Structure 1
């Protein structure tokens, strides 16, 4: 293994880590080729997913009928029409679209709008940032296939996207928009879920005022966000039993009401009742769709939180528990309403049998608290994906599980969401405007997912055109109709998520624009070979220097800036790039990948330090340096044939300089717009970007470098 890697390193060019491709593939195949997950693991994840993914959609029976019939029920058959709409919406959108189609369009096990965008970028050159990773370039081309209609169509779509600047920019902005809407969901979901559940107290007693309910909700929200730091794994195990009881109780009460009040509502399975509902009510029926669609609130969490679990586990929990429970709950409420049409505003609590009212209220309150977990977890996942695409400022991502990659916690995002939720809850004090806002956010994300999914079907899956047309006519048409309905209430709270999305997109576009400019500048100004020859004459000082850089290819210009102003080099210099790989664990023998930098007498090496998501990065860098030096010495011994001098003496030199002291050098560039740049370019780079850079995580914090051995190298770059 080591000999083959060494041979690949020798055959590589000096300017690129092309040898990295094979070791990366070896690591990935060794770790992930042990077969599928055992069923007990799938069952365990399916159980956990109940407490993380389905809280929001599971609590929708609290308010769907009340929101749909805001002006009361005009005709008893309208109940059948709405029940039919709910049944087919949950079946077609939640179960069919998300459960069995969208989940398959994941990117290395990750879901969400960013994952769909990343998937498209890996199969076509549509990304606004060039692929920097060797393995990405390897995956970016089509595999050889027998030409056919589907293949030719895929090639045409691929070529059209690659040759259109507008298409590339549109896909990037659409991804950012979807991200912003999901983050908006992460703010609105806790507010509306907790407030709607606590409404049961007011119905049972008049001693509690609405203002008191609001402040109780604020305390509950604070508790919810504080628990996020314990991780999805622990939260899932804590919440899953409660949500399981919630689904069982809803199914049981629904079944009881179905047989007690009106079993004839079973005929709502006939979609003709939907047609009759629209004929009877016209525009009012169309407006009421904004309430009906709330039966699938949180459905995007099935996809966004995929990285926390697995496709099989989510499909299992949805099919076996969530779907039947929801159908029984809504059917039972419809049966109750057929005999009690005047109680539609309090359908959920009024339909609960008296003896179990208070136990059900307690479970409902707990379920409402948990319902927020779905979108919070999804927000963490999608922020991480956006950051990896270079579209979001640097944040600290904490992996809370040693077993599963996607279970993460982002402190900055968590507390920002908490403050936003508290502000919105205290400001609006009602679920009405929040419901209007939530519907718009939900439908925009669903429609964007469908748009990206159609591109995946055309270009990657090469699905038959008839099936694609069928998907658009059935699924996407339904979503567009729902979207048109919620937009009608734009001025009644619907403006909130769109305003938030515009602000967040502005931040992401700003960061992405400058990030791309900086990346291209560093590629164009890599240290030339002539400068490396001149370095050989510089004075050498004792010690080992580790120079950290995000640039994966070539020597960054900031290093040349350093040696120009300090014309001396440490006796041994290692250019370090820390990489996170989408695999669970990198064996210690494969942790570091080395290359010599010519001329050899420089005693300079390039190193890629690779970590999987199960690998722990300790704040103490001493073990890291120890391992790096040990692997460097092994590399030098394996690379004897390419070394002119005595290898044993050189190995001893590395050991000696390591003992003399280690200095961690971190490049810190100050970005400025070039002289003569336009006004807006100066504002974006000189002020907006640099302000964001100052308030987010710095490079040395990401690398967890001890400050006692840290030396920052400053440089001004004009873009």
Structure 2
């Protein structure tokens, strides 16, 4: 491999490859120097390498978490994750039997449907299978897509680097012999442009659906809860929603501790009342565990039974939040809370309500509150309202995670990732939608939430099947079983909820399409800009000519950081800058901010430096890598951290320059024995000299050069392209944070360089 910067090619030393024993001096200092050199040799030298397999030197690894911490997280997750699915008993039977109960055994059929739906989807699929597909602790649709992008080159932005494979949590490869099928699927995805675009679009639509579901279902929960008071007004509902958002600003951990006891009390109440109704009214409903009642239900009601599935599916609304919010907790903590508390607390109230309905069929439209024993009515009403308003917490936390994840794939405008401001943005957005929808939604339109719920679940299953084949190398029989059982159930539910599309089902879909449009517009122009810079990047020869051959160009004291998105070369805007400002600082660093499709990048792996030859130019390139959950406003200033890492790189780079490479094999150190002392002194002198140069430049002042690229559609572009680039993208850019705000760049030391790109 050759570097564009003219450096010598150095082959990576294999883990089992050692330097010959007779070439190593016994002196301790020499051994330390050799160790440093060997450590450096494990790095690749080219930032322009776009495809190569670099072995990872880090295992996936998982840190042991104490059981006390896991149990605390399990308790907190009750208040954050299960609010939505936990309040479903408020309205499921009323939604399913919207036209009344035609036959007593229909109650058993619906109870059987609810039991197997909750068992198959939230419990088996999500808790025991999907949670395993987390991206180093992060969940959600974007996390699944990120994993697929790492194992197949399906990303539409050509910013992949071989060095990225060396990041600690990049690889999740599991040992397996089932490679043929995985390679075939991977090759098909990589070679088909349609497949790449399709995967990206459905990922955007799926994540938008999650947010759309979060906008709609909490409104339904609150409306159903306050429905216990027949004279409940719209203003009461709005007041409840506003109170919820007033406490959101305190953060997930505090909200989790505050809300968990309420949801726990809610689960205790509904489970206890369920047991009471089961014993008092009709214990024989336990026979609904026999799936034959489902068959009989469809045989009696035919099309009406199929349509009623849109009400049954509301029993699992909020299930996707269980996966999306896993990053706030741990897989084990969610598994514990679901299996020990949430699952039985959901089955019991549905069973109790079925027993109640067997004796009081005419109360089906108000099953929940009518089935509450008299003395517990008002306490239960208060807890129901409290639980209903908590139902939105899971989606607020999920929205925050989704926005973070979308940044890594260029699917969302770059914003400053700070928990409180971003979460406040999500809260304001959701709150305004809640208040608007609480006015327009009535209980007859509760089925509309099902479209978003089932669509996202089906999408998750599709991605999961790809992961099973490509990454996990799962036995094909298990994959087929999963598709036939889980996939079939979800497709049947999807066909049912789509039937109600014209009766309000378009609400979550319209919201999702609007959000997806924003994401697609940004991603489309982002890809166009990146490809333009890649096609017009400055070659190494041209860079040398600009700096050395231009007699009008002078070097001034100081350190300049030139920011750009491009990670494969020098951006064209640099030549535009030199043409207008014929002066360069004594040390120049081209900084590229790159978001990797992983959750976190370790601090010691964040900065990747290379030197531009000749060395006398003092020009460097740096790629700063972040995961989609990394916080970019570290306690130490960005520029200070970058300079310190630059000095570390210079030291390693000088050490490596004394290694000779011959015929692809590492040989001895120059003048190893005779001139050992002189060589070490030379190293120290050179290291001190170059680090001193950087320190002096730092002391003289740091200037941040920001490339501000204006984009316009090229001549002859179609009307669609012109609308996206000239209007939609420009509108988004004007209303969002600029680059300097993302990295807290001081305005007094910032210089913007503008250039227009015709895309």
TM-score above 0.5, yes or no:
yes
What's the CA shift for 1:177? 1.5
Question: Does residue 109 in structure 1 map to residue 142 in structure 2?
Answer: no
Distance 2:328 2:627 in 1: 16
Q: Could you list the per-position Cα deviations for residues 513-542 of structure 1 after superposition, in whole angstroms to 9, with x for gaps in the alignment?
A: 211111112222222112222213520122
Match of 1:341 in 2: 361
Query: Out of 193, 217, 221, which is 1:165 matched to?
Result: 193
Q: Is the alpha carbon distance of 1:676 and 1:614 closer, same or farther for their aligned partners in structure 2, counting shifts above 3 Å? A: closer
Out of 457, 461, 464, which is 2:475 matched to? 464
Correspondence 1:633-648 to 2 at 5 A: 633-640=647-654, 642=657, 647-648=687-688
TM-score, normalisation: structure 2? 0.85
> 2:273 touches 2:352 (CA, 8 Å); kept in 1?
yes
Q: Tell me which of 424, 443, 446 is aligned to 1:411.
A: 424
Counterpart for residue 535 of structure 2:
524
Residue from 591, 596, 599 that aligns with 1:576: 591
| Paired residues of 2:408 and 2:628 also in contact (CA < 8 A) | no
Other-structure match for 1:302: 322
Structure-2 change in CA distance of 1:552 and 1:233 (3 Å):
farther
- Deviations along 1:380-418, whole A, 9 cap, x unmatched? 222222221112222333247xxxxxxx95333332222
Deviation at 1:143, TM superposition (A): 6.4
Matched, 1:699 2:711: no
Q: Which residue of 2 aligns with 1:380?
A: 400
Distance 1:576 1:9, change over 3 A: farther
**Structure-2 residue corresponding to 1:441:** 452
Question: How many Å apart are 1:320 and its aligned residue?
Answer: 0.6
2:136 is paired with a residue of what secondary structure? coil
Give 1:373 shift: 1.1
Q: Are 1:673 and 2:706 an aligned pair?
A: no
Match of 1:13 in 2: 46
Structure 1 residue 161: deviation in Å? 2.4
1:632 to 646, 662, 667: 646
Residues 416, 743 of structure 2: 8 Å contact kept: no
Match of 1:176 in 2: 204
Greater Rg over alpha carbons, structure:
2
Asked if 1:185 corresponds to 2:213, the answer is yes
Q: CA deviation at 1:326?
A: 0.7
Cα 1:585–1:393 shift into 2, 3 Å: closer
CA distance in 2, matches of 1:109, 1:62: 32
Within 5 Å, give how 1:601-620 maps onto structure 2.
Answer: 601-609=616-624, 617-618=632-633
Report the structure, 1 or 2, having the larger helix content: 1
Q: CA offsets, 1:430-488, max 9 Å, x none? A: 2332x222011111111112222222223332333332222222222111221222222
- Compared CA separation, residues 452 and 586, structure 1 to 2 (3 A): closer
Structure 1 position 432 matched with structure 2 position 444:
yes
* Alignment partner of 2:566 out of 551, 567, 590: 551
3-state secondary structure, aligned to 1:676: coil
| Equivalent pair of 1:396/1:410 in contact (CA under 8 Å) | no
1: CA distance, partners of 2:85 / 2:541: 63
Q: Does the CA contact (< 8 Å) of 2:610 and 2:621 recur in 1? A: yes
The 1:701/1:289 distance shift into structure 2, 3 A limit, reads same
Question: Does the C-alpha gap of structure 1 residues 395 and 142 become closer, same or farther in structure 2, counting only changes over 3 Å?
Answer: closer
**Quick check: 1:49 aligned with 2:61?**
no
User: What does residue 699 of structure 2 align with?
Assistant: 659
1:532/1:598 contact within 8 Å kept? no
Q: Which residue of 2 aligns with 1:499?
A: 510
Distance 1:187 1:651 in 2: 55
The Cα shift of 1:583 comes to 6.6
Give the structure 2 partner of residue 205 of structure 1.
none
Aligned-pair distance for 1:377? 1.6
Name the TM-score, length of structure 1 as normaliser: 0.89
Q: Label 1:5 to 1:424 Cα distance change in 2 as closer, same or farther (>3 A).
A: farther
Name the structure 2 match of 1:317: 337
> What is the CA-CA distance between 1:16 and the residue it aligns to?
5.3
Deviation at 1:329, TM superposition (A): 0.9
Q: What is the deviation of 1:494?
A: 0.7
Give runs of aligned pairs for residues 78-89 of structure 1, distance below 5 A.
78-89=106-117
Mapping of residues 250-399 of structure 1, within 5 Å? 250-399=270-419
Residue 79 of structure 1 deviates from its aligned partner by 1.2
For 1:350-395, what per-residue CA distance to the aligned partner results, in whole angstroms no more than 9, with x for missing partners? 1111122111111111100111111222222222222211122223
Q: Secondary structure at the match of 2:227?
A: helix
Report which stretch shifted further, 102-111 or 511-520. 102-111
Number of equivalences = 693
Identify the range of structure 1 (558-567 vs 45-54) with the bigger mean alpha-carbon deviation.
558-567
C-alpha separation in 2, matches of 1:580 and 1:75: 57
Cα shift at 1:151: 3.0
Task: Provide the rounded CA distance (Å) in 2 between the counterparts of 1:226 and 1:191.
Answer: 17
Counterparts of 1:653 and 1:544, CA distance in 2? 10
Q: Does the 8 A contact of 1:215 with 1:426 survive in 2?
A: no
Q: Distance in 2 between matches of 1:569 and 1:157?
A: 49
Cα deviation, 1:616-662, whole Å, max 9, x if unaligned, reads 655897x4433433443444344445599955344333322322222
Rounded to whole Å, the distance in 2 between the matches of 1:461 and 1:383 is 27
